[in-house]
Amino acid sequence: MRALKSLVPAFALALAAASPLPAFGQTANSTVTAASPDGTLVLTVSTDSSNRPIWSLIRKGKLLIGASKLGFTLTDGLNMVRGFRITGSETASADQTWEQPWGERRFVTDKHNEVLVYFQQNADYGNRLMNVRFRLFDNGFGLRYELPQQPNLKTMKIADEWTEFDVAQAGTAWWITAGEWNRYEQVYQKTPIDAVSTAHTPITMRLDDGTHLAFHEAALVDYSAMWFKRAEGRQFRSTLAPSSSGARVIRELPFNTPWRTIRIADSAAGLVENDLELNLNEPNKLGDVSWFKPMKYVGIWWGMIRGDWTWAQGPRHGATTARAKEYIDFAARHGFGGVLVEGWDKGWNGDWFGHGQDFSYTEAVPDFDLKAVTAYAASKHVQLIGHNETGGNIANYEAQLDDAMKLYQSLGMHSVKTGYVADAGGIIAPGDAPGETRMEFHDGQRQVQHHLKVVETAAKYHVAIDAHEPVKDTGLRRTYPNWIDREGARGMEYNAWGQFANGPDHEPTLVYTRMLSGPMDFTPGVLSLEGAKHAPLASTLAKQLGLYLAIYSPIQMAADFIENLDAHPKELDFISKVPADWSESHLIAGEVGDYAIFARKDRNSADWYVGGVNGATARNLTLAMDFLEPGKTYTATIYKDGEGATYLTDARHRIAYDTRTLKKGDTLPLWLAPGGGAAIRLHPGR
């Protein structure tokens, strides 16, 4: 055995000794143990009677994840599931703090212990090597496979990955179905854990003893996304997104898989204030990205989503030069940094949905003068946000990528929204032969490669990427901080398409599920509270402001028509002031799926902001102002649900304004309406 330094603190060993699991420490050649820095989590790794690698986790002396297998099946060789033995292990630990260029918090702490376990298959399987690195934080866990260079395995053609997670206790799960036609754009289900089918991650669970878990992955690079499939009971297993090449992943050795992760906490807040996936990603590879500035934006967008305007040319074409200038004027007047324009380019006139072969990313349509609009924007200190809808045709997009990004940089554009509207399995990718194409999944290996190619190319030209219909976020913004946000869930757009299309619980569910993966371009700020044909939103007016605190993105839209924003001067004032970059963020009240109230500190001033969203049930909260700086008095400008407000009727428009002085130690009572919310700006001084 290679140097095994025990990382298991004495008290964790004592707890473990009382448990039904195998004994801890280096008791036998076949068992390796490790613990998180304060001993909360204890890992055991060994092999079972069929020589299958297994791992388990104990938390605070109680079994959390029972014996769970590891391994791969291959399309062109014997399985890497049985016949393993442990040949050694190595430990390491870290305690460091690193800085984000932008985000929910400026400084991130990474404190962990890790153990790398060396497995080898016996001669019947060709003596193949497979290493697994386990990392233990006090509030989270990650494991990844590391496939070293070796004589009997050059290329891995992975039929599937067999990483198991045996959830030891019953409880509730919040999840969406993997592999669905509409990708991640689903309403979340809430079911018992043993009623989950195959879920996308993050999947969030609350166990019967109150422990909160969120299973996900980190650093998804050149690999297919992991779907979380229930095998039986509460036993889950990875299954990888499909690929046109048969094998779900093809990789040359050596390579590392993405991390398979679990956030682990006693409370909903502990899940949210948790940087597990960021810590498991590589540090910033781009260096200085100060050319990207967090900002708020408006856009020629809601009009097309509602159907009032069109992306295609014609009498109702949204993206005209004149309208773009109007939006730029509005942005300049109210301190918005950007204006998104969709439908500016050639390719929308035909049937773009799911095909996208006609899209040009460099040529504008005749009634949109790209040069004139970008020059006008620059004169007003506003940036045009580009839009590249692909219809899922990445073959067409990749062919134009360099030229497009180069053009945008030359026009002073520093962010581009991309889009991949096509059913799941509808990505048209370049094949091996010239002109050949292949169909791929939105989260298969080829599309994962594509997204990174876009982000890396964009970075060369100082362009940031906001991907819609993306692959899920796995913390890659740490490594590529120009990958600023994504959609990757059911956003505001659904509210344009039907009454209460996103129910009142949707956003307080997103906070604890989708949002654990990273920033979302949700596009809040529909102050009219109306979609197409006057379809009402399941939201009060105050909730539209609360969304800016609940759902983080470094670019935040005010999605409504500018006339509707102008019609609400007080709310518009809040939106124009609320930051999109924070030095601290705390969930000060909330439960999964029910409500979420954050306190966030502006990264560029001493102001604090408090607010968030409520689900269907009205509630009274008492918020503790513990986060404020001692000795300072703050003037609080409060936007809250008015008396009798409810998302269910026209009373959704009722909002109340209040001003108070508050200091550390004070409490603030707050009533949240059904489908309500609140937003508060705290500025030092009276």
CA distance 163 to 168: 16
Cα–Cα distances in Å, from 583 out to 287, 425, 579, 605, 683?
20, 39, 10, 9, 15
Q: Nearest distance from residue 331's CB to Ca ion, in Å?
A: 23
Place of tokens 């509210």: 495
CB of 397 to ligand NOJ, least distance (A): 13
What minimum distance in Å lies between the beta carbon of 386 and ligand NOJ?
Answer: 12
For residue 454, give Cα distances in angstroms to 404, 414, 480. Answer: 11, 14, 11
Q: Which one of ligand NOJ, Ca ion, none is in contact with 656 (Cβ closer than 5 to 8 A by kind)?
A: none
Which pair of structure tokens corresponds to residue 580? 């999109």
Of 332 and 421, which has the nearer Cβ to ligand NOJ? 421
Catalytic residue status for 493? yes
- 597 contact, one of Ca ion, ligand NOJ, none, CB 5-8 Å limit per kind: none
Element holding 383 (H helix, E strand): strand 383-389
Rounded to the nearest whole angstrom, what is the least distance from the CB of residue 297 to Ca ion in the complex?
17
Buried b (16+ CB within 10 A) or exposed e, 609-648: bbbbbbbbeebebebebebbeeeeebebbbbbbbeebbbe
* Interacting partner of 160 out of ligand NOJ, Ca ion, none (Cβ under 5 to 8 A depending on kind): none
> Structure tokens of 59?
């938390």
Using the minimum distance from each CB to ligand NOJ, give the nearer residue, 492 or 678.
Answer: 492
- Partner whose binding site includes residue 571, from ligand NOJ, Ca ion, none (CB under 5 to 8 Å by kind): none
Q: What is the size of the binding site for Ca ion (CB under 5 A)?
A: 1
Candidates 225, 227, 162; CA nearest to 196 is 227
Q: Under the rule (CB under 6 A), what is the footprint of ligand NOJ? A: 301, 305, 342, 389, 419, 421, 468, 487, 493
Q: How far is the CB of 471 from ligand NOJ (least distance, A)?
A: 15
Task: State the minimum distance, in angstroms, from the CB of residue 417 to Ca ion.
Answer: 11
* Cβ distance to ligand NOJ smaller for residue 228 or 359: 359
Query: Residue 560 binds which one of Ca ion, ligand NOJ, none, with CB within 5 to 8 A depending on kind?
Result: none
Q: By the 8 A CB rule, do 71 and 156 touch? A: no
CA distance 515 to 511: 5
Task: Quote the CA–CA distance of 548 and 571 in Å, as a whole number.
Answer: 12
CB of 349 to ligand NOJ, least distance (A): 14
- Collapsing DSSP states into helix, strand and coil, what is residue 222? coil
Subset of 443-482 contacting Ca ion (CB under 5 A): 468
Q: Toward Ca ion, which CB reaches closer, 161 or 521?
A: 521
Select 411 or 421, whichever has its Cβ closest to ligand NOJ: 421
Binding-site partner at residue 675 among Ca ion, ligand NOJ, none, CB < 5 to 8 Å by type:
none
The active-site residue, picked from 487, 493, 530, 571, is: 493
The entry of ligand NOJ, Ca ion, none near residue 67 (CB within 5 to 8 angstroms by kind) is: none
Closest residue by beta carbon to ligand NOJ: 389
Please give the Cα distance from 597 to 209 (Å, whole number).
Answer: 23
Residue type, 562: I
Q: Which is nearer to Ca ion, 317 or 486 (CB)?
A: 486
Return the number of the residue (305 or 610) whose C-beta is nearest ligand NOJ: 305
Parallel/antiparallel/unpaired status of strands 555-557 and 295-300: parallel
Contact 163, 193 (CB under 8 A): no
Cis peptide before 22 (omega within 30 of 0): no
**Strand, helix or coil for residue 527:** coil
Cβ-contact 94, 179 below 8 angstroms:
no
Residue (161 or 342) nearer to ligand NOJ, CB: 342
Which of Ca ion, ligand NOJ, none does 342 bind, CB closer than 5 to 8 A by kind? ligand NOJ
Q: Pick from 617, 621, 629, 632: which is nearest to 674 by CA?
A: 617
- Per-residue DSSP letter, 657: E
Residue 299: CB minimum distance to Ca ion, A:
14
The C-alpha atoms of residue 339 and residue 377 are separated, in whole angstroms, by 9
Q: Which residues bind Ca ion (CB under 5 A)?
A: 468
Name the residues annotated as catalytic: 493
